């Protein structure tokens, strides 16, 4: 369930940065585990100075976590059991009343997982969830996200071995993707301690940056 608004208040200083932010796009603001939404920013790697602006340079390391803290030294982990559902919330800014993303920003969503010890470097990112275009409903994943008030729910793999991980949800807006570099990426990273008795290690994954190219079908 959504936490009370009082538990999601942010400092006046932070809110001041957001006043009049007409160009805001979207960020992951909150994590929900076990049906409880955690306070704004908890377990999420510090947002970069541009807050909710997208990454469009697919060679930039900003494509990993869109953060001002690339080592994650200041981020504490949330605990979740392998096999459990969890959710993240997307909003245009950290104010609890903000909307999700512009309706024009249509595109897919995905969730990746990597060992925390890798800090996201190398071919370590394994996709555990994705959603794109539903032809029967003529609906993009971002449109579903708006209908769900920004809530994206997925399951942690049940056989995954316990340990510390980096979770990377992303939304991709394709409204400007008629030319290379026009797609807008909205990733953020969450620190997780995954518990359980699973024995399966993450397989080799993909590199971010690296896995996406500006001319890839679906990106252009």
pLDDT in tens, 183-216: 999 999 999 999 999 999 999 999 999 999 999 9
* pLDDT greater than 80 at residue 182: yes
- For strands 78-81 and 190-195, give the pairing: parallel
* Long-range CB pairs of 129-138, under 8 A, 24+ apart, other chains included: 129/154, 129/155, 132/108, 132/218, 133/108
38-50 mean pLDDT: 92
Domains of the chain: 5-207 (2.70.50.70)
Q: Which residue has tokens 């996709």?
A: 127
pLDDT band for position 24 (50/70/90)? low
- Predicted local distance difference test score (pLDDT) of residue 48: 84
pLDDT tens by residue, 149-176: 999 999 999 999 999 999 999 999 999 9
Helix locations, the chain, DSSP H: 12-18, 62-65, 141-147
pLDDT tens by residue, 77-89: 999 999 999 999 9
pLDDT band for position 10 (50/70/90)? very low
* pLDDT greater than 80 at residue 18: no
């Amino acid at each position: 369930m959504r936490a009370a608004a009082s538990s999601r208040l942010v400092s006046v200083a932070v809110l001041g940065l957001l006043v009049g932010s007409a160009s805001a796009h979207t960020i992951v603001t909150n994590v929900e585990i076990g049906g409880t939404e955690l306070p704004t920013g908890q377990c999420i790697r510090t947002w970069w100075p541009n807050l909710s602006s997208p990454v469009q340079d697919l060679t930039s390391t900003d494509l990993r976590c869109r953060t001002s803290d690339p080592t994650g030294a200041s981020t504490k982990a949330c605990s979740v059991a392998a096999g459990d559902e969890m959710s993240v919330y997307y909003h245009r800014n950290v104010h609890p009343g903000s909307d999700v993303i512009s309706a024009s920003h249509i595109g897919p969503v995905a969730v990746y997982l990597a060992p925390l010890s890798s800090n996201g470097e190398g071919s370590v990112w394994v996709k555990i969830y994705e959603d794109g275009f539903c032809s029967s409903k003529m609906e993009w994943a971002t449109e579903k996200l708006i209908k769900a008030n920004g809530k994206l729910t997925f399951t942690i793999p049940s056989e995954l071995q316990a340990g510390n991980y980096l979770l990377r949800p992303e939304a991709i807006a394709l409204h400007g993707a008629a030319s290379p570099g026009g797609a807008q990426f909205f990733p953020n990273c969450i620190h997780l301690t995954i518990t359980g008795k699973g024995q399966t290690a993450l397989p080799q994954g993909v590199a971010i940056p690296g896995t996406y190219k500006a001319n890839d079908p679906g990106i252009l």
